[in-house]
Amino acid sequence: VQLQASGGGLVQVGGSLRLSCAASGLTFNNHAVAWFRQAPGKDRELLGITWRHGNTYYTDPVKGRFTISTDNARNTVYLQMNSLTPEDTAVYYCAADLNPPYGSAKFKPSSYHDWGQGTQVTVSS
């Protein structure tokens, strides 16, 4: 199983980026897929999750700005990020698990079995 995250880069405040997470060895429509980020010196934090029934959840820092979408034909999950601020600077990770985490479990990185390698997003002011 391999998750390949891509699409990070340098963007100015207020700009947008779209991250991609492509999977091999698993089928996303059978898994819960989440996006996390980790800034220097901080814990890895959940940004959002999409469950296989199509429902999504976003944490407050990104709600209304970030959107998770899935292309089942390409077996790829996207994270569209708009209205970026310097506080969004971090390494972004996609994660997946066949056993979908709910409740408090969805916030825990240990709830996800498969991880991408991370892609750096830097927002300059």
17-38: per-residue pLDDT in tens? 999 999 999 998 889 999 999 9
Q: Which residues contact 40 (CB under 8 A, 6 or more apart)?
A: none
Taken as a whole, the chain contains a residue count of 125
- Are 38 and 90 within 8 A, CB to CB? yes
51-94: per-residue pLDDT in tens? 988 899 999 999 999 999 999 999 999 999 999 999 999 999 99
d(CA 87, CA 61): 10
